[in-house]
Amino acid sequence: MQPISIVGPGATDLAEPLAERLAGRVAVVDCSGERRESGETPDSEATDGGVAVGREGSDAERGPASTADTALALDSDGSWRGRGRADGLDDLLDGLAPDHDYLVAVGESRLRVPTVLLGADAEPADVPGSVIAAADAPDEVDLDRLVADLTDAEPWVTRETLVRRVEASANADRAGAIATFTGRVRARDAPDDDRTTHLAFEKYEGVAAERMDAIAAELAERDGVFEVRMHHRTGVIEAGEDIVFVVVLAGHRREAFRTVEDGIDRLKDEVPIFKKEATEAEEFWVHRRE
């Protein structure tokens, strides 16, 4: 899934025309807390090709079973509407990624999410995401260029995304095991270590992806292994966040476990991705200390 954030005055006015330009299933998440005017589409109403999710306090609360934490109603055309709770934008990114091609977040930005910044006085330093477009007003944004720039941005891939992909394999009916590995940012090796605040990953564009694809293809040629998927996130990743995923579809658990272990070992040894570690005391490139 490719996410994009829109922040600043008029962000809600830009979200709808942008969503209409995006091909595929689109989720529009309103993080602004603003109520829509009477007669407008509720924040939680399903839309063509996607679904919009409202924040607590929006008109979405007037949906079915309002005393429940999550309430959904399925319409006769197969669309749904309702309301629910999520633990911030990250929770929505992870939850919606497997089933959507795009997510448009209105009113909130985060690290590693391309951002549109609106407002004459807005500065890129005001938001954590990388600013790919800036304008004084929504109608000044070149939507065609914005959509094109999104195709070059790094997608938001989760472990569940990769699991769904291997489950769709033509050999899924022969598979009795799916094994996964998730690498995450460790805050400390030992209790008295300086706390790691974040890691920053850089990669050789194109080369890293090609090498991961080659490793996955080689591993998938093993007897009893049907499909291998890998993804390594880049940019700044904070303590406790996920970094890398390896997912293996296999006939039996032994082949699956062995291939997952070999996959992450080869990825770390052979793929040109470089790591800078930031602790409470210092910053350093890890490969220069090994």
Count of other CB atoms within 10 angstroms of residue 74:
12
CA distance 133 to 122: 12
203: CB partners within 8 A, 6+ apart = 232, 234, 271, 272, 273, 274
Q: Domains of the chain (ranges plus CATH)? A: 2-150 (3.40.50.300), 159-288 (3.90.1170.40)
Handedness of CA 188, 192, 197, 198 (dihedral sign): negative
Per-residue confidence (pLDDT) for residue 215, from 0 to 100: 98
Per-residue confidence (pLDDT) for residue 151, from 0 to 100: 86
pTM metric for this prediction: 0.83
CA distance 65 to 17: 31
How far is it between the farthest Cα atoms of the chain? 62
Per-residue confidence (pLDDT) for residue 61, from 0 to 100: 42
pLDDT in tens, 178-198: 999 999 999 998 998 999 999
Binning pLDDT at 50, 70 and 90, where does residue 50 land?
A: low
Per-residue confidence (pLDDT) for residue 31, from 0 to 100: 83
For the chain, give the mean pLDDT.
86
Per-residue confidence (pLDDT) for residue 204, from 0 to 100: 87
Residue 73 pLDDT exceeds 80: no
- 168 versus 60: which is more confidently predicted? 168
